[in-house]
Structure 1
Amino acid sequence: MLINDKNHEVWGIILASGLSTRMGTPKMLLPYQQKTLVHHVIETCLHSVLDGVVVVINPKVNGLVEAVSVPGIKHVVENHDSHLGMSTSIKVGLEALPQQVEAMVILLGDQPEMDEGSINRIVETYQVKNRPSIVQSVFFNNEKGHPVLFKRDMFHHLLQVEGDSGGKSVIQKFSREVVYAPMNQHIIPDVDTIDDYQRLIKKRGVVHDKGNR
């Protein structure tokens, strides 16, 4: 059972500052079901039990600020070092978290199929398992992926990560601290390439407009 406990706030950090090098176009702004990809992720977070959301963007992407300016989002921060890898986005997001936040969940802006149930499962696992340092999603075939939760005692270690490994190296280093949250589904795919995007729209259907930018 989920408990809204303001003494133990859990926030989400949406990483939306990637360079989209494999896509060749700003993927966060691609249309999907009358909205942009990143808009879907933001709305999912806002509908979940998360106490707040930080969105990390690349200021060089035209239109991205407008795309993430969704009612309910109060923390949009810019990553000027996106070219140095995912770790830089995590650092910018961590630095934007209010002091009262006890744990945060890393979410990817290019996962429009992320559902609020997956986020809630992560938070619920954190609560019922006595607030462990790391909670990671585990999907069918024992595949592990996002969302991933890190408690504040891991923030220092995340701030030391370099390059594009994100939180993976911290999970590996502190593997004994990890609690797994089983997801009754296949792993949530990223949209990294044109082929990924085509698979997404064929599976779900899409209206080809400019999205909510």
Structure 2
Amino acid sequence: MATGAGGTQALEAVVLAAGTGSRFGGGKLLAPFRDGVLLDGALAAAFAGPVRDVWVVTGADAEAVGDAARAFADRTGESERLRLVHATEHAEGMGASLRTAIAALPADAAGAFVFLGDMPRVPLAVLPQLADALSAGAPAAAPAWQGRRGNPVLLGRPLFSRLLALTGDQGARAVLQALGDRLALVDAPDDGVLFDVDERGDLNAVIPDGR
């Protein structure tokens, strides 16, 4: 875990879990998944990363999503590292959720992983590689699969001021695009960095191989 001691980076993880899941028909992150709910997949990856704490941003279904996050943390022994923060302007879109998360992070955070709550197949092996890219001087790092940029992204502190100015539903996309070739791309071991759940049928795609 990145603690900030001995010259290591102090990194945090953000899990964006504020959306309504309208294409799914509502309640997407709370849909049954394995022995828990869909949100658990993103939480598992976030807690497995080289980070200090995991910040879950709630919005729609805030109470139920918060309860689900606490249940996962309790079940996995990670309660002390879980932080919940509510995006009061979540209806505006992902920009509001990300603004809320970045504003809540500790002042010494060197960077933040941004996980999407509906992406349950993130390959854990890519997370330390993203951290290494940031440590090597990249302002941000992202995984890529077959030439396509995926998630989660890791954003360095120098970008936080731009993230705090985000609006709408584009998240950090414009910030990353503005970096051009300064954005470090790390080859991912599989397409889990691209896979998300938009509709109920998408859940079937994460069951066959057990991931």
TM score, norm. by length of structure 1: 0.86
Query: Aligned AA for 1:145?
Result: G
| Cα 1:178–1:72 shift into 2, 3 Å | same
TM-aligned CA deviation for residue 61 of structure 1: 4.3
Is 1:11 matched up with 2:8?
Answer: no
% identical aligned pairs:
21
Classify 1:3/1:162 alpha carbon distance in 2 versus 1 (closer, same or farther; 3 Å): closer
Among candidates 190, 194, 199, match of residue 185 of structure 1: 190
2:52–2:81 Cα contact (<8 Å) kept: no
Could you say which residue in structure 1 is the equivalent of 2:76? none
Q: Paired residues, what number?
A: 201
Instruction: Name the Cα RMSD after superposition.
Output: 2.0
| Structure 1: 5+ residue stretches without partners | 206-213
Corresponding position of 2:121: 113
Name the stretch that deviates more: 60-69 or 143-152: 60-69
Partner residue in 1 for 2:53: 52
Specify which structure has the higher proportion of helix: 2
Conserved 8 A contact 1:122-1:147 = no
Match of 1:137 among 132, 139, 143: 143
| 1:100 to partner: Cα distance | 0.9
Secondary structure of 2:91's partner?
helix
The match for 1:24 is 25
Higher relative contact order (CA 8 A, sep 6+): 1
State the Cα deviation string for residues 20-51 of structure 1 (Å, max 9, x = none). Answer: 01111211111111111112221222222212
Task: Write the mapping of 1:60-71 to structure 2, written as runs, cut at 5 A.
Answer: 60-69=61-70, 70=73, 71=79
Query: 2-side partners of 1:79 and 1:168: how far apart?
Result: 19
Structure 2 equivalent of residue 100 of structure 1: 108
C-alpha distance in 2 between matches for 1:21 and 1:202: 25
Whole-Å separation in 2 of the counterparts to 1:74 and 1:194: 28
Question: What amino acid does structure 2 have at the position aligned with 1:131?
Answer: G
From 141, 152, 160, the equivalent of 1:155 is 160
Measured in 1, the distance between the counterparts of 2:194 and 2:36 equals 19
Q: Contact 1:59–1:79 at 8 Å: present in 2 too?
A: no
Q: Which amino acid aligns with 1:89?
A: S
TM-score normalised by the chain length of structure 2:
0.87
Please give the alpha-carbon distance, in whole angstroms, between the structure 1 residues aligned to 2:24 and 2:61.
16
2:172 counterpart residue number? 167
Aligned to 1:146: 151
Q: What does residue 75 of structure 1 align with?
A: 83
Mapped partners of 2:189, 2:40: distance in 1:
24
